[in-house]
């Protein structure tokens, strides 16, 4: 009888411990809903031209002239306290008006729900995380150029990486597309409400303005921007080089653009840390070089438009002038 009286409290204690452990395990595994509204689509007081005649090099906005967003793809990536990627969601706003929210996991992309573009919902266990939100073009890629597309160089459509190695590619080729980024601490618990995220533009822009008249025999112009970077490391915002490291593209001149001054073209630039060299060359219809001009020491800053203005066809008329526009439309000028 005495032995039974001793065992009963021990059983009760063991049962109590097991219940506490079970309750603790349930609490640790419990997930809480989180929601974010991503805004800041327009980062400047002077809107960037989005009309069909805009000569901004490879601007994704040409295909979305009816919308006011400066980016058409949202990446939402969450890393836990150890830096491991634990969640990735994505939205894309295209001509098809696809505003669906997708989860990217195990190298696949699956529909979660249909939300307004910029409205993100997820569930996470209680704890501290790092949240990364990227506003970019559909041509961008996480941990590889243009993820989600089939490429012989990459075995995974959507490769994952810890935060220390996570890399964002703003474009798929040599050119750079406008890119916005937010990175911050995220604490998940049972009291958090909806939060507003405002990514900031990490790319800069060069706008080249030619003051003299373009001759009638000019057919197309070739641009080359040296020393441009191709990727950014998310852990420390370090810029990463690529091969080749130059932006090179051409533009066929329209008849209306000849015989008058003020021809302009723009490039988005990721290199906002070191001087850039731009080379512009005009050719006739038979690919004969008419004139070429090299502009050195162009400094570009994030969210600033550097206006490079001067003469190309008129010899000995001074240097190009460089101005920087922090409102993405007016400001610093470089004369060549």
What is residue 225's predicted lDDT score, i.e. its pLDDT? Answer: 83
Give the pLDDT of residue 184.
Answer: 92
pLDDT tens-digit map of 289-306:
998 888 888 888 888 888
Mean pLDDT in residue range 239-257: 77
Query: What share of the chain has pLDDT > 70, as a percent?
Result: 70
List residues bridging with 136 in a β-sheet.
73
Cβ-proximal residues to 200 (8 Å cutoff; 6+ apart), any chain? 40, 43, 180, 181, 182, 302, 303
Is residue 12's pLDDT more than 60? no
Contact between 290 and 316 under an 8 Å Cβ cutoff? The reply is: no
Residue 304 has what pLDDT?
A: 86
Cβ(160)–Cβ(85) under 8 Å?
A: yes
Task: Give the whole-number percent of the chain exceeding pLDDT 90.
Answer: 20
Q: What is the mean pLDDT of residues 123-136?
A: 92
Q: Which of 155-164, 214-223, 316-325 has the lowest mean pLDDT?
A: 316-325
Helix (H, G, I), strand (E, B) or coil at 150: coil
Residue 95: its pLDDT value, please? 57
pLDDT at site 8? 46
DSSP structure string for 214-227: PPTT--EEEEEEES
Model confidence at 118: pLDDT above 90: no
Q: What is the mean pLDDT of residues 174-201?
A: 84
pLDDT of residue 111 exceeding 50, the answer is yes
What are the extents of the domains in the chain?
32-201, 204-335
Provide CATH code, domain 32-201: 2.60.40
The alpha helices in the chain, defined as continuous H runs, are: 2-29
Report yes or no: 135 and 201 within 8 Å, Cβ to Cβ. no
Report the C-alpha gap between 94 and 91 in whole angstroms.
Answer: 10
Average pLDDT over residues 268-275: 88
Mean pLDDT value of segment 62-79:
64
* Omega of the bond leading into 244 within 30 degrees of 0 (cis): yes
Does residue 112 have a pLDDT over 60? Answer: yes
- pLDDT at 210 (0 to 100): 87
For the record, the structure tokens of 30 come out as 């419990």
Q: Is residue 61 very low, low, confident or very high in pLDDT (cuts 50, 70, 90)?
A: very low
DSSP string of 253-315? Answer: PPGGGTTSS-EEEEEEE---SS-EEEEEEEE-TT--EEEEEEEEEE---TT-EEEEEE-SSST
Higher pLDDT, 59 or 208: 208
Q: Does pLDDT of 226 surpass 70? A: yes
**pLDDT (0 to 100) of residue 85:** 97
Question: In this predicted model, which residue has the larger pLDDT, 195 or 285?
Answer: 285
Residue scoring higher pLDDT (43 or 155): 155
User: Per residue in 132-170, is it b (16+ CB within 10 Å) or e — as a string?
Assistant: bbbbbbbbbbbbbbbbbeeeeebeeebebbebeebbbbb
| Window from 2-6, 65-69, 114-118, 319-323 with minimum mean pLDDT | 65-69
What is the pLDDT at residue 44?
31
**For residues 201 and 196, what is the distance between their CA atoms, to the nearest angstrom?**
16
Provide the mean pLDDT of the chain.
76
């Amino acid at each position: 009888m005495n032995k039974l009286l001793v065992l009963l409290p021990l059983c009760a204690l063991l049962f109590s411990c097991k219940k506490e452990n079970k309750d603790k395990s349930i609490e640790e595994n419990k997930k809480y809903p989180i929601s974010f509204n991503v805004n800041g689509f327009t980062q400047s007081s002077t809107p960037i031209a989005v009309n069909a005649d805009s000569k901004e090099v490879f601007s994704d906005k040409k295909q979305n002239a009816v919308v006011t967003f400066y980016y058409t793809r949202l990446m939402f990536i969450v890393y836990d306290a150890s830096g491991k990627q634990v969640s990735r969601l994505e939205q894309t706003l295209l001509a098809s008006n696809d505003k669906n929210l997708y989860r990217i996991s195990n190298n696949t992309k699956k529909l979660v729900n249909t939300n307004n573009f910029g409205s993100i919902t997820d569930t996470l266990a209680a704890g501290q995380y790092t949240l990364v939100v990227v506003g970019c073009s559909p041509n961008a890629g996480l941990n590889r150029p243009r993820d989600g597309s089939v490429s012989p160089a990459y075995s995974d459509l959507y490769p994952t990486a810890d935060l220390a190695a996570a890399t964002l590619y703003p474009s798929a080729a040599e050119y750079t597309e406008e890119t916005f980024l937010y990175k911050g601490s995220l604490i998940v618990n049972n009291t958090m409400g909806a939060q507003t995220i405002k990514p900031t533009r990490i790319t800069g822009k060069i706008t080249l303005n030619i003051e003299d008249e373009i001759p009638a025999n000019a057919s197309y112009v070739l641009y080359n921007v040296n020393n441009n970077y191709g990727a950014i490391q998310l852990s420390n915002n370090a810029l990463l080089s690529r091969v080749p490291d130059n932006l090179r593209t051409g533009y066929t001149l329209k008849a209306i653009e000849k015989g008058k001054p003020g021809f302009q073209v723009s490039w988005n630039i990721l290199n906002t840390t070191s001087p850039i060299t731009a080379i512009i060359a005009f050719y006739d219809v038979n690919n004969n070089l008419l004139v070429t001009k090299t502009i050195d020491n162009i400094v570009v800053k994030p969210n600033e438009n550097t206006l490079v203005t001067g003469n190309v066809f008129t010899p000995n008329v001074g240097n190009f002038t460089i101005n920087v526009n922090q409102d993405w439309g007016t400001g610093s000028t470089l004369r060549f």
